[in-house]
Each structure stands twice: as C-alpha cells, then as structure tokens.
Amino acid sequence: MSSAKTINHQEMNNIIAATDECVMCGLCLPHCPTYSISKNEAESPRGRISLVRALYEKKLEISDSITSHLDHCLTCMNCEQACPANVDYEKIINAGRAEIYRQNKKNLQQYLLLLILSKPNIRKILKPFLAVFRSIGLDRLLPNLRAINLLSNSKNLLNIPHHNKTINKHIDTKGNQPNIVVMNSCAADLINDQTIDAAKSILSQLGCYIIPQTQSHCCGALHQHTGDLKTATSLRNKLLRSIEIENVDHIVSLASGCGAQIKRYPMLEDTPIAKQFSNKLIDVSELILQQLENNELKFKTLAGKVYLHKPCSQRQIINDPNTIERLLKYIPNIELVYFKDQLACCGAGGINTISETELADQLIENKVHEIKNSAANYLVSSNIGCALHFQARLKRENIHVKICHPISLLAQQVI
Ligand code: SF4
Ligand code: SF4
C-alpha cells in the first residue's frame, strides 16, 4: 500500500522539515552505539535521518536493508544530546518506523510482546503461566521464543524481600504532604510488582499519600518506537484520562523508559492534560531524595558491591545524573561500582533484546565482562528492559549477580 494514501501532506512536510534541521555536521556520530560498532553511515543518526527523508520524499522504496538500519536504532537519544542544531531525532526515527509499519512490515515476536503489554486482561491471564514456562525450562526448549522467554526468565529479577509498611491512609487536603500516584508500568505489572511495593512502602513511610489505582496502563512507548502510532495514541489517551490530575501533586515513574515517553507527551499532543501530566511526572528516586530532606528513614549496612547501571532513558527524565547514587549512599557502607563507559547503551533499547539480538549481545559484551571480573553482588537499573537484558545474558554466562531496581535495594535496607 502506498504511504501517500495513508499519510497527509502536512504530516509529510512536517517530517521533511524536521530532517531539514540536520546540517550533516556528523558531531553525533561518535556518540552513536550502532555507528561505533559498524562504522557504516546508514547505521548512524545522520544516515538514518537521510534515509527517512528519502522515504518521505519518495526517492527510496522501503526495503529489508532500510528497515534493518532503522530498526537497529536503540532510541538511546545520545545523538539528540550531542546535536548542536537541536534536531528532533526521535520524531524523525519514529516517523521512519511508522512508514515501515504502515506498509505492514511487522515482526511477529514484536507483535506478540506489544499485544501482551498493551492489554491488561492478557497480562492478568499470562502472569500465572510465566512460572509454569519457567519451571519447564521453556527457554531451553524453544530458544527462539524470545519475547515469552525474556518475561518468564525474570524469576530472579528484583526478588528481594522488603518491609511493606504503609502509614498514610487519607488524602492530604491541607497541602502538607504530597498526594501521589505511583505508576504501575505494563511490564512491571506483569513481572516486577515487588518494585512497585517497595516504592509504595518507602514513599508511604516518608509521609506521601498514595492515591489507589484500580488498573495499570501502558504508556505506549514501545508501540511508538515500533511505528504503531495508532495504538500508541490510543494507549496515551487511556493513561492520560485514568488519573484525576487536579488531586495529584506528583505522578511517580518507576520505569525510566515509560517516564521518558510521558515527558514527551506534550510534543506528541498539544493539550493541557498532556502538559499537566508531563509536568507532574517525577522519577521515584528524585521524589524519595526530596522527601528524605525533611523526613527521617534509617537504613541498615549493606555488605556488598553494587554495580550502578544508568539507562539511556533515565538521562531523559532526571535532571541531576547523580540522583540515584546520592540516594543509594543513604545505605551505610554501600560500595558502588560504575561501568567504565557509563554512557554506553547496554543494547536493550526499545525491544532490541528481542528483535535485534545479535546487536544487543554485542553492545552488552563489555559490561558483562566487567561484571564477571568484579565480584559484584548486585546490579541496579531503573529500566526494566535493560534489567531483563542483563538478566538473560548473565544467566547464559552463569554469572550470579542479583539484579534489581535501585528502589528495591533501598527498601530491602530500611530498618
Ligand atoms: S538514538 Fe542512539 S542508536 Fe539511534 S541513532 Fe541516535 S545515538 Fe544512534
Ligand atoms: S543530527 Fe545534529 S549532530 Fe548529527 S549530523 Fe545532524 S546536525 Fe549534526
């Protein structure tokens, strides 16, 4: 089907105008993980911008090779941060992928994962089966079923016992303490509810009132990144209308990928609700750090080495890059260890762990090697996709490191 029949002229001109902003200086190239590996211009931000422009100008037809160059992009946004011309790279790559999606070039595994994540009822049905898949060793029997294997293999992830104290039972109408919504992301809802409990427990002990939510909603980030803009828009609409925003001081993000997507909502739709939602979004570590300034919480000593992974998406929502280490340093004696190249993407970006396995494996290689030689006890990451990617790879290498969200580790140490 021709893209001209499915996209209006104005939209096409907007994308071409966005590509016009690129002055082709190449300053982004050294910051791009896929270009660093391949040294191929088509695997660079500048090359991808040119490809998308050519698609929209109808100078190129979609081919397998163009699809794979656009699919390889990790949406780490290192290029946007390095770009002196403020090119809106994310808009351009999303437009390129949307064009491919419009022409029905879909990947079955991607489709399966996105379907699971976007439907709360499917997640509810699947959840008990993940333990069964795990017990029969599905990953060994059907290694190509990466989407399900990745989810079912999450048993050892974030499995840390913690206190589950809750204190505040009533909404604070006097404005003394924040009324908050803790966002349950779709993936966390399925495999990582311990982190949600950990965050609620700490925030509640720090005096926040947690407004109960009946259902978790998907933010649409993965659909957006894979070009399914129709589903991404519908999921965004559901999430925006799921909270009575006027009663909320903060919407707390636990998953950095979802947080980064919500921060961008006003760029996707110019509505007051999108702006309010985005303005009220705060990363869980940032809010806990703020609350600890005025409330006391005691932590017990941790004997162990903790690798701190800084997901690319986290840099898009937290202003101070040292927020998580400042928070973890409340734990007495904690020994934090950092990857040699802290800004290097681990390769999990979007759903690359499933769709671009070879590239994802190459990008995580150095980090796995560092962990192997470190005698680390924990690895903390605020991105669930990165955590699962590390977990799958470390399991394959028989490296025993406990992987968790920084907030799970913090909750474990609360006295
Ligand atoms: S988002 Fe990351 S992987 Fe994609 S082009 Fe930019 S730097 Fe490269
Ligand atoms: S995206 Fe920005 S940094 Fe990269 S080539 Fe274009 S103008 Fe230069």
Q: What pLDDT digit, counting tens, does each position of 137-150 carry?
A: 655 655 555 555 55
Nearest CA residue ID for atom 6, ligand 2:
22
What is the rounded CA–CA span in Å between residue 364 and residue 223? 24
Closest ligand 2 atom number to CA of residue 25: 8
pLDDT band for position 406 (cuts 50, 70, 90): very high
* Ranges 148-157, 298-307, 345-354, most confident: 298-307
Q: Tell me the mean pLDDT in the region 74-82.
A: 92
Q: Tell me the mean pLDDT in the region 13-39.
A: 95
Higher confidence at residue 84 or residue 303?
84
Residue 350: how many other CB atoms lie within 10 Å: 24
Closest ligand 2 atom number to CA of residue 26: 5
Decide if pLDDT at 336 tops 50: yes
311 CB near ligand 1 (under 6 Å):
no
Q: Tell me the mean pLDDT in the region 82-99.
A: 94
Ranking 23-32, 88-97, 120-129, 270-279 by mean pLDDT, the lowest is 120-129
Strands 402-404 and 305-308: unpaired
Ranking 23-27, 61-65, 102-106, 246-250 by mean pLDDT, the lowest is 102-106
Considering only CA atoms, which of 381, 380, 377, 366 is closest in space to residue 400? Answer: 377
H helices within 21-63, ranges in order? 33-38, 45-56
Ranking 147-161, 203-217, 360-374 by mean pLDDT, the lowest is 147-161
What is the rounded CA–CA span in Å between residue 127 and residue 192? 11
Task: Report the CATH architecture of 3-102.
Answer: Orthogonal Bundle (1.10)
Angle at 397 between CA 393 and CA 403, to 5 degrees: 50
Cα of 70 to ligand 1 centre, how many Å? 10
Residue 347: how many other CB atoms lie within 10 Å: 27
Task: Supply the pLDDT for residue 152.
Answer: 59
pLDDT band for position 319 (cuts 50, 70, 90): confident
Cα of 33 to ligand 2 centre, how many Å? 15
Closest ligand 1 atom number to CA of residue 28: 7
Order the strands of the 281-283 sheet from edge to edge. Answer: 209-210, 179-182, 250-253, 281-283
Angle at 411 between CA 409 and CA 415, to 5 degrees: 120
Euclidean distance between the first and the last CA atom of the chain, given in angstroms as a whole number: 61
Closest ligand 2 atom number to CA of residue 27: 3
Considering only CA atoms, which of 176, 170, 187 is closest in space to residue 130? Answer: 187
What is the rounded CA–CA span in Å between residue 223 and residue 176? 39
* pTM for the predicted model, two decimal places: 0.81
Decide if pLDDT at 182 tops 80: yes
Tokens 């671009």 correspond to what residue? 356
Task: Supply the pLDDT for residue 307.
Answer: 93
Q: Is residue 113 within 8 Å of residue 147, measured between CB atoms?
A: yes
Ranking 68-72, 153-157, 210-214, 278-282 by mean pLDDT, the lowest is 153-157
348 CB near ligand 1 (under 6 Å):
no
Sign of CA dihedral 230, 235, 240, 244: positive
Residue 118: how many other CB atoms lie within 10 Å: 21
- Residues forming a β-bridge with 210: 180
Nearest CA residue ID for atom 8, ligand 1:
32
Domains of the chain by residue range:
3-102
Decide if pLDDT at 212 tops 50: yes
Decide if pLDDT at 247 tops 90: no
